[in-house]
Amino acid sequence: MTKDFSNLADLTYIRGRVALAECLKALGIGTGDRVAVQAFTCVAVPEAVMAVGATPHWIDVSENSVNMSAQSLSDNWHKDIKAVIIQHTFGIMADMPALLNIIADRVPIIEDCCHTFLSNLEGRLAGRFGVASFYSFEWGKPVIIGLGGAALVNDNALYDILAKSRSTFRSPKLAAVAKMSLQRLAFSSLYRPSLYWTIRRMYQAMSRLGLAIGNYNPLGPGELSDDFQTLMPPSDVSRLTRKLPELEKDAKRRESLAKYYASKIAGYETVKPITSLPGANDILVRYPVYVDNKQIVLERAQMARVEAAGWYTSPIHPLSKDDWQLVGYQSGSCPIAEHMANHIVSFPLSSGVTRRTINALDRIFNS
């Protein structure tokens, strides 16, 4: 399957959201158009939609799921929807047959594959159902470069439009490249699951001080980031190309660890797995679970020095309720997504994770 990503480096940008915006723009989507986006997502997705002048059209997720509901999409269809972004959250395959049945040939589909490369449904890879897909290589992704994203296009004419537009982009500033290189060095040297909480606090503090490049840009009128005209550094493109042949080996490791996680959580009364589709082979970026009390779980994890992430902390992470209006989201419009954001915790599947790491869950759920 790795050969299917041989041209991933052709359409690279400074961030995955830029790849998404370029796909939307190449499809002719702009002012006055709506783009269907699931709630329970990262703010980077609506940021890309708004960067081309379009409006996010929010769709709920399915029960006990972290992916778009076909029923909600059907119930909330609007004549001005010009594209649908389908997200494979945490690497769990979205219900593509049901969604395709609703969308039919009305509008193009772009797949959000930022959490997976090799997840597949009945052998068909994520990213191969729509006209295009996009990927991210930031912290916490399956392939970590530091910054960077890419588009993978399944239509030759669309590819040509993207390639022509990309030729007008500029290289990132040297100061930003240097800063990101230092962040990558620090991450590779320091990261291990037991240090997650310490590194997280350091990164957040450095981002606030402008000493590290953060994950999120300001939102609001006139707040279009320079990212949307910036390429991925050539050195990082080369690094990506070297890492792609490792995808299948890494996928097998993640599958093995995910099975061990499943066996562990089966013994915890207050933890439930997330629904996976029949026929799906989900290659996860993290192992997500539903917990009764998310805040208590995160507090216990921090005290026990066990890596546990709370994202998505809201239907549009990391926005608080007071800021949902910045991306056109109204409280209560996607109740299942809001509920899931209050109950989802995820655990690591990164290269430093072992069975011993997973056994440490006992310190959270058996305490």
Q: Express each pLDDT in 167-225 by its tens digit.
A: 999 999 888 888 788 777 777 777 888 888 787 787 777 777 676 676 777 777 667 88
pLDDT given for residue 211 in this prediction? 65
Both tokens assigned to 76: 């909330």
> For residues 244 and 240, what is the distance between their CA atoms, to the nearest angstrom?
6
Confirm if 90 and 286 have CB atoms less than 8 A apart: yes
Vertex 226 angle, CA 224 and 232, to 5°: 135
pLDDT given for residue 287 in this prediction? 98
Both tokens assigned to 128: 């191969």
Percent of the chain with pLDDT over 70: 97
2-166 architecture in CATH? 3-Layer(aba) Sandwich (3.40)
Q: List pLDDT tens digits, range 231-284.
A: 999 999 999 999 999 999 999 999 999 999 999 999 999 999 998 999 999 999
Split at pLDDT 50, 70, 90, the class of 101 is very high
Rg of the chain, C-alpha, whole Å:
19
Average pLDDT over residues 358-363: 96
Domain 247-365 has CATH 1.10.3980.10: no
> For residues 17 and 3, what is the distance between their CA atoms, to the nearest angstrom?
24
- The Cβ of residue 103 has, within 10 Å, a number of other Cβ atoms equal to 22
End-to-end alpha-carbon separation of the chain, Å?
A: 42
| Neighbouring C-alpha atoms within 13 Å toward the C-beta of 179 | 14
- Spell out the residues 6+ positions from residue 18 whose beta carbon is closer than 8 angstroms to its own: 48, 149, 227, 228, 230
Q: List pLDDT tens digits, range 42-64.
A: 999 999 999 999 999 999 999 99
pLDDT greater at residue 95 or residue 204: 95
> For residues 356 and 332, what is the distance between their CA atoms, to the nearest angstrom?
40
Domains 2-166 and 247-365 share a fold: no
> For residues 339 and 247, what is the distance between their CA atoms, to the nearest angstrom?
33
Both tokens assigned to 324: 């949902």
- The torsion defined by the Cα of 339, 345, 349 and 355, in degrees rounded to 10, comes to -130
Average pLDDT over residues 302-320: 96
- Stated pTM of the model: 0.94
Q: Report the Cα 52 to chain-centroid distance in Å.
A: 20
Each domain of the chain, given as residue ranges in start order, spans 2-166, 247-365
DSSP category for residue 250: H
Q: List pLDDT tens digits, range 8-35.
A: 999 999 999 999 999 999 999 999 999 9
pLDDT given for residue 1 in this prediction? 47
pLDDT greater at residue 362 or residue 219: 362
The DSSP element (H or E) to which 13 belongs, if any, is strand 12-13
